[in-house]
């Protein structure tokens, strides 16, 4: 959090912290205030389901170790807007770490098979924004996580876009800085290419995402750029109109994780179009995706103030070997050159055409009217004209490219530490919504 001076900090009743530059989205890049391009080197951080950003001492311990890892961003899936987050946000800012915050709560996220967007949801999302907008190390907000995961859920896409519209409207009405607003998508072959285009099409920036992020586990060591499927992801990201990055990655099959994909993401193959990656996840749990642990596992039925799901949720973070050091080594070798904002022209990006419906399950046909607040979904969507003519480029045709599907080890929409039970649990979650 950056203040204008010591006096301002005293008035607010908080201690001054090391200043960090704010970040903005320009074209398909993130830029610091200084004009330097920003690449995300992040980890998913959700120690407890309700809010991991309220224990300042724990955040300080974790931020210190994250700094040695090379982390510059964390993603937090759920927070409590009524709590004070100053100590944690300051701890991460002091370590040079930015935050990506999900706006939805456990009872306000958009349901995939019965989508709605009502005033209760608007108010809840706005409350989270109000609670965090004052911190300069907020990189962006997510309006949703993997809302769409199977074919018949694509009709929820207009509701995702409606949430972007109204969150942006709240941002503008309050005179807030233009913190980027985006979405975190599941890597579903038949849906993701259309979804990423749909959320950026139509020509109305007030309704389109400011960034698009992907939860992808396609790269499972040992593999290569071409074999993994990353080459196809790259084809569909060339000159994408907004920043695109991995909001979850780090396949652990067969293990240990080598994180060789980081060289591709931040290297010559992808860095001109991708803005980095977030590794899933910080804390060791039953799915064995953790980079650190707070102690050995205990019985799943064990209880205690910091024990849930058989794992300790607080304490001194201890690196999980060899994954922690493998990632640290990869990030230490990464020095993407990027581009200076003064030398960058946003006009180089492509405008995406609104995708037509497909036989594979994308059910939104073209640029449809977005639901108003409180509007009930009737099963039909009406097409509206685009705001400006679109220019279909080679990049815009990427949706037709061959793609692959990956399975997320974390429950979609309900990211809960201690409840990520692996791929089988994910499939049970999806079945629940069918």
Angle, in degrees to the nearest 10, between helices 119-132 and 157-173: 50
Determine the Cα–Cα distance for residues 158 and 367; give it in Å rounded to an integer: 9
Buried b (16+ CB within 10 A) or exposed e, 2-19: bbeeeeeeeeeebebbee
- Identify whether 10 is preceded by a cis peptide bond (ω within 30 of 0): no
The string of DSSP codes covering 91-108 is HHHHTT-EEEEE---TTT
User: Which element (helix H / strand E) includes 245?
Assistant: strand 244-249
Predicted structure pTM score: 0.87
pLDDT reported for residue 24: 98
Contact 378, 421 (CB under 8 A): no
Q: What is the pLDDT of residue 392?
A: 36
Catalytic residues: 146, 248
The rounded distance, in Å, linking the Cα atoms of 210 and 349 is 13
H runs (alpha helix) in 72-211? 86-94, 119-132, 157-173, 192-198
- Enter the tokens of residue 102: 């999900």
Asked if 383 and 392 touch (Cβ cutoff 8 Å), the reply is no
Q: How far apart are CA 90 and CA 12, in angstroms?
A: 14
Residues 248-262: tens digit of each pLDDT: 999 999 999 999 999
User: Rounded CA gap, 294 and 318, in Å?
Assistant: 6
Q: Pairing state of beta strands 274-279 and 244-249?
A: parallel
∠ CA 66-25-215, rounded to 5°? 55
Longest CA pairwise span in the chain (Å): 62
Query: Mean pLDDT for each 10-residue chunk of the chain (434 residues)?
Result: 38 50 98 98 96 98 98 98 98 98 94 94 98 98 96 93 98 98 95 96 96 97 95 96 98 96 97 98 95 88 82 95 98 94 93 90 94 82 55 35 57 41 32 31
Which residues contact residue 352 at a Cβ distance below 8 angstroms, ignoring those fewer than 6 apart? 196, 197, 200, 201, 240, 241, 390, 396
According to the model, what pLDDT value does residue 359 have?
85
């Amino acid at each position: 959090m950056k203040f204008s001076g010591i006096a301002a900090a005293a008035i607010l009743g908080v201690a001054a912290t090391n200043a960090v530059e704010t970040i903005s989205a320009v074209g398909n890049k993130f830029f610091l205030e200084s004009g330097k391009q920003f690449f995300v080197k992040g980890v998913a951080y959700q120690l407890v389901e309700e809010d991991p950003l309220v224990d300042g001492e724990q955040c300080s311990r974790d931020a210190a170790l994250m700094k040695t890892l090379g982390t510059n961003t964390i993603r937090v899936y759920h927070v409590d807007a009524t709590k004070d987050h100053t100590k944690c946000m300051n701890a991460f800012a002091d370590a040079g770490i930015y935050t990506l915050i999900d706006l939805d709560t456990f009872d306000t996220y958009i349901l995939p098979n019965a989508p709605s967007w009502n005033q209760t949801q608007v108010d809840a999302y706005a409350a989270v924004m109000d609670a965090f907008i004052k911190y300069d190390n907020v990189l962006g907000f997510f309006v949703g996580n993997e809302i769409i995961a199977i074919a018949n859920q694509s009709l929820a896409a207009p509701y995702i876009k409606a949430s972007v519209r109204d969150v942006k409207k709240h941002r503008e009405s309050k005179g807030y800085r233009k913190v980027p607003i985006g979405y975190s998508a599941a890597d579903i072959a038949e849906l993701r290419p259309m979804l990423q285009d749909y959320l950026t099409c139509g020509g109305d920036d007030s309704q389109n995402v400011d960034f698009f992020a992907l939860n992808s586990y396609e790269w499972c060591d040992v593999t290569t750029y071409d074999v993994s499927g990353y080459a196809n992801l790259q084809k569909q990201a060339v000159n994408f109109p907004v920043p695109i990055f991995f909001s979850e990655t780090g396949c652990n099959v067969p293990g240990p994780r080598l994180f060789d994909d980081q060289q591709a993401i931040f290297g010559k193959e992808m860095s001109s179009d991708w803005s980095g990656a977030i590794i899933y996840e910080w804390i060791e749990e039953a799915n064995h995706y953790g980079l650190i642990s707070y102690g050995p596992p205990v019985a799943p039925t064990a209880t205690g103030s910091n024990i849930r799901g058989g794992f300790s949720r607080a304490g001194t973070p201890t690196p999980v070997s060899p994954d922690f050091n493998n990632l640290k080594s990869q990030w230490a070798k990464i020095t993407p050159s990027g581009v200076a904002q003064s030398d960058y022209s946003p006009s180089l990006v492509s405008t995406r055409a609104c995708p037509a419906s497909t036989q594979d399950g994308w059910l939104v046909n073209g640029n449809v009217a977005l639901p108003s607040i409180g509007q009930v979904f009737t099963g039909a969507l009406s097409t509206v004209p685009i705001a400006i003519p679109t220019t279909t480029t080679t990049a815009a045709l990427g949706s037709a490219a061959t793609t692959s599907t990956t399975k997320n080890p974390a429950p979609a929409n309900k990211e809960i530490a201690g409840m990520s039970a692996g791929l089988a649990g994910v499939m049970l979650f999806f079945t629940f919504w069918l």
